[in-house]
Every structure is written in C-alpha cells, then in structure tokens.
Structure 1
Amino acid sequence: MKKYLIFLYAVLGYILSIGSLSFLILWIYPWEFIKFTINNPIITLDINPIFLNTSLLLLFALQHSIMARSFFKDKLLKNISNGVKSANYSLASSICLIIMFYFWQPIEGVLWDFQSDVVFWSITIVYIVGWITAFLATFIIHHFELFGLYQGYRVLRNIPEPEVKFQVNYFYKYVRHPIQSGTLVGLWATPYMSHTHLFLSMGMTIYVLIGLHYEEKSLINTFGDKYKKYIDTTPMLLPFALRR
C-alpha cells in the first residue's frame, strides 16, 4: 500500500509542476485571452510592490536552492524514499509558483511597448522557441525523472536506483544548460516589457545564474574531470559564446 501512495504522491507532484509551469508561460506574456497576467493581478494589495515581489522571488529561490542541495536531500531527508523526496520538491516548487501568481503586484512603468503586428509576432516566435527549447531539453535528460514522476514509478515497480551517467546529447552539445537558456529567452522575449515584467525577469535571471554556479560545482563533484572537460569545450548558456 505504501508504494502506491508514494506513486500517487509523485503523480500529484508531476501534475502540479506541469500545470504551474504551463500557467507561468501564459502568465508572463501579454496575451489578450488571459484574464490574469503578470500585469493584471488576481488580487490588489496595499503593500509596496517591490517589497512584496522581492519576497515572493526570495521564497521561490530559497525553496529551490535549499531543497536541491545535498545536505537537505541526503542528510535531513536521508531516511525518506527518493520517490517522496522528488515529489516533495515538485509540490513545493508548484506551491511557490502558485503563491507568486496569486500575490504578485504590478509596478508602474513600461520599458518598451512594440505596437506593430510584425514585431509582436516576431518576438512571439522567439518567445515560443525559447520555451519549446527548455521543454525539449527536459526530455533529453529524462523529463519524468526531472519532475519526480519516475522516482515514484521506481518505488511502485521495485526498480533499483539507476547509475548516474554523464552524457552529452542534442542541445547539450552546444550549451551546458539548455533548459535555463530557453527559460531566459522566454522571460525576456516580450513585445511589452512593463516594469513589473522587468522586475520578474531580472530576479529570475539573477537566481538562474547563482543557481548554475552551485549546480556546476555539484556536477564537478559528481563527474569530476569529465565535466571539467565539458566546461572547457561547451559554453554555459549561449551557443558559440565564450566558454564559462
């Protein structure tokens, strides 16, 4: 019975993760058919928006950073099944995003606003390509494991933990972190860059860069010289850019 509950918990975490990320992609873009967006809040609060939005970004960043670190997974949760650990991370990440959607407040001002249909759809294509790139990259490194579903399935089927292997396929031949590359394109490619959107994009970009710094250290500890050679030959985020 326990393994079925773990699997259902992993399924719930996966559904919430995909749902919240899908809403994020719609939420940040100026689509007319979306009622609530980053510029049209669900609720209006009489709180300094910079203070509140900074708090929401910190909540998201701290949750991701702390729960992803080895001291949290391997020490604090050492007696918990990996299926539950991964599902916990997926659920917590989804909850943080939902909280952000609900409480995020607009900041006055607009950085740019392109009215031309040609420009709008050109930027929209870039925006879509960015998110598609990030989405496809998750499948290259095992989409269902990344979101915790496969860990729950392994518990259900009594499948042992797989050996961690270092592989470089498809997008990963050109950049070390294509998921983050696509995400950053999706965050910045918009025909209407309000100060509200700019604040989110800047905050998320800072978080991504800091997170990648520690992720790279973790990957070097895991794969050693193989990953160091990968760093020497492959740029981090921009294809054909200077390495590191």
Structure 2
Amino acid sequence: MIIDIDRVLGPIPGDDVASADEKGLVAELDRHRIDLACVVHSHALFYDPAVRPPRVASDRLVRVPVLVPGPLGTGGTSAGQARLVRLCPSEHRFALTGPHCLALAGDLADQGTAVLLGWESATFDEIHRLATRHPRLRLILIGTGYRSLRELADLMDAHPRIGVDTATLNGHQSVEWLVRRYGARRVWFGTGAPISDDAGPRFQLDHLDLPDADVALIAGGNARALLKLDHEGR
C-alpha cells in the first residue's frame, strides 16, 4: 500500500491544479498509483486554519488539521482524534518554541499524535529545542531537500523521534543513506503535491536501492501504523 503523507487538497494561489477538489485529487492518486493521501486543505494552509474546511468524503483521503496554538489560534481540541497534524509557525506567525506551542506539543505527544513540520517553516534551533523539550513527540520534517542533509543528520542523531518525508530528497542515494543510517521506520513517502512535484518522488519510490521490506515501510507501512489503518481493516 502506498500512502502519501504530505499532500494539499484545494485550490492553490496563482495556479490551476487538478487537486482543487476531491474528484481531481483522487484522479491524480490513481494516475500515480497511490492508494491513500494525508491531506491538508489549502484554505487552512494559506488562509485561516481556525475555519473548519469542508469535510473530506473520500475514504482515500485522510484529513490533516493545521493547528495554531494560543488564544488566537485553533485550540488544541481542534485536532480531535487526528493521528497526524501540521504546524506552520512561519506561515501563521507563531513561535514554535513559545509557551503556547510548547504546551500544545506536550498535549500532542501525550496523545500520540504526530506532527508534520515544514523545513522552511522553522529554524534548526527551534526544531532542536522543541524536540529536546518533548522527546516523545513524533516530528516528520517535510520539504528538507539534499542541501539540508547535514543539518538533518544533526537533528536525527540527537532525536530518535524525528523522521523525514521523501518529497524533496532527490539527491543521489539521499533516501538510501538516511535509511541505512537511521532505519526505514524514520522515512516516509510524501510528495508535497501540488506545491511540489509528485511524479518524481513516486518514480523514486519504485527505484530505491533498498531491501523490499524497507521500501514497504517507506511506501506505506509507517503511515499505516501511525494512522492505525490495520486496526480498521484497511
């Protein structure tokens, strides 16, 4: 099973995308042979996370809430039973290591909820401080890229609960190097589409120079366990 951990549903400013609605997004998943996608709604990403986006009807799409901490934010309870949420400190102008976000991160760690965090949305020091304060919080860093590998290695060496998605890890053998050093359970298939390309990461997944068991974890095994899909009979 192939699960895209990092995808956007809805219209994108300045671009006409096929995934502007559910029907178009599901067609894109079919085209790339992706079974399931964890989706952030573009309204929450680019506009106001406090306004609940339209309900996701397709059983191939898992809604990922965007949370903003503090009295002017979404409120921690807006995550509901979500197993995966996203924090966007740069985009929504809050401090990742401020008191409100640290409190929210502690609640998420206690609930076993994982967090998607964009590499460009926070600084190295902020990510390090957050992971140090809440070592049980699972952070999945997205949009890292090959230029970030040295900094990424610093963080992953220091914090066993930090993982990474494959969306922009397109340097030669970058994914293989990460898996051999940290294990496949810390690497997740993601595309970041339609903001970034989905065909490249999907092609890369089919050609990873890794054991089949490791590829299966990256492709969807890690996400299945996180989302508890196996317990729901999927």
Q: Common fold, TM-score beyond 0.5?
A: no
| Bigger share in strand | 2
> How does the TM-score come out when normalised to structure 1?
0.25
| Bigger share in helix | 1
The structure number with the bigger radius of gyration is: 1
> How does the TM-score come out when normalised to structure 2?
0.26
Higher relative contact order (CA 8 A, sep 6+): 1
